[in-house]
Amino acid sequence: MEINSETSAKRILVIDDDVELCQLVNRFLTQEGFEMEAVNSGAAGAERALSRDYALVVLDVMMPEVNGFDVLRRIRAQSHIPVLMLTAKGDALDRVLGLEMGADDYLAKPFNPQELVARIRAILRRIKPQTNDAKKARTPLVVGDVEMDRGARVVRRHGETVNLTSVEFDLLEVLLQSAGQVISRETLTRDVLGREFSPFDRSIDTHVCNLRKKIGSLPQGTDRIKGVRGIGYVYALPAEMTT
């Protein structure tokens, strides 16, 4: 199948059993220059997400038969496509679970369609290569036994590839670039998630937790990413870089 990269960069798949909501979202996304496709069942949505080239998937959690978590699990088994989950208002458990399973972000229902567009644009900006960053993309970012190929968006530890989501990759990049320095949660939320920090939003903490599990400990057994109470996080320098 021949893929038009320019078209696919604007194509959004919405998986939600609420037909009226899909129609509303379609109007807003179309006005913003996106091309939207809607699927109203989880099983069909998972199949569609893996069979065509999309820029991003908007996925509702509460669907009959095959829910959003099952759909996300099927997608993540084969694809790193960005996924924005729609959760019930006030249901923090769904949000945390979605992020832990590999969702890039979430938005609680009911939501302002303009906020949905803003979240989509923030995710797409993160993963879109910037022409003025070509030199940076060619230069590997190396801290100890961790090497980041920013052009290919691949991370290796001890030479072994570490499977990261797009958010986790961007989060690790920010931490590695300032290894040894504490970075505030406000800064990480702004630079990685593309939005203003709220003390009630624990998304960045969940992403850090997921990244910690995947990146593992330093060779001496200590945490690579350490929390600084009330401030933020720091990527710890390996022992050989502190002597």
Q: What is the dihedral of CA 177, 159, 214, 98, to 10 degrees?
A: 90
Q: Which domains does the chain have, with CATH numbers?
A: 5-127 (3.40.50.2300), 131-241 (1.10.10.10)
User: In angstroms, rounded to a whole number, what is the distance separating the alpha carbons of residues 169 and 207?
Assistant: 10
The predicted-structure confidence for 57-87, as pLDDT tens digits, reads as follows: 999 999 999 999 999 999 999 998 999 999 8
The predicted-structure confidence for 89-122, as pLDDT tens digits, reads as follows: 767 888 888 898 999 999 998 899 899 999 999 8
DSSP secondary structure of 80-101: ---EEEEEETT-HHHHHHHHHT
Burial 63-101 (b: 16+ CB within 10 A, else e): beebbbbebbebbbeeebbbbbbbbeeeeeebbbbbbeb
pTM of the entire predicted model: 0.74
